[in-house]
Amino acid sequence: MSKTHTLYDFIWMTRPLVTQLEEAVARGLAGTGLSVRMRAVLEILARDGSQPVPALAQTLQIKRQYVQVMVNEVIADGLAEKRPNPRHSTSPLIVLTKAGGDLIQDVMTQEMAAVERIADRLSASDVDTALSVAQHVLSGLRQINDGREK
């Protein structure tokens, strides 16, 4: 099989990969009260610190309006709160509460244990190569979608 066809197969494999990933994450969230999308917001806040909705949207690479819905959910559940943003008076910072920080830490600890079980079956070189290929494909697709490559 040619390199092009193998790459094409890799690209098509991302759909079932994402489906399985979302199912595994949802299963791991059972009993937490979190949805997959709420979990994503909490992880970014835990990893990157407090930030306004537009910054969260940029990190998630989805529309700001949709992220606002996600943020409203975590705020309604007491897992995050709004605080004044010294850099932008109309775009408050979204800040994890202690409950939100504790919950996402527990969830991520469980998830990392599952990822470790998968990683144990792969070589470090295989994982590095997979990451590199995924980054190159994503970059290439962005160039195509941005009209920089025809």
| Interval 119-128: pLDDT, tens | 999 999 999 9
Q: How many helices (H) and strands (E) does the chain have?
A: 6, 2
> How far apart are alpha carbons 8 and 5 in whole angstroms?
5
Q: Which CATH architecture has domain 20-110?
A: Orthogonal Bundle (1.10)
Helix (H, G, I), strand (E, B) or coil at 94: strand
| Interval 25-75: pLDDT, tens | 999 999 999 999 999 999 999 999 999 999 999 999 899 999 999 999 999
pTM: 0.83
The contacts of residue 127 (CB under 8 Å, 6+ apart) are 119
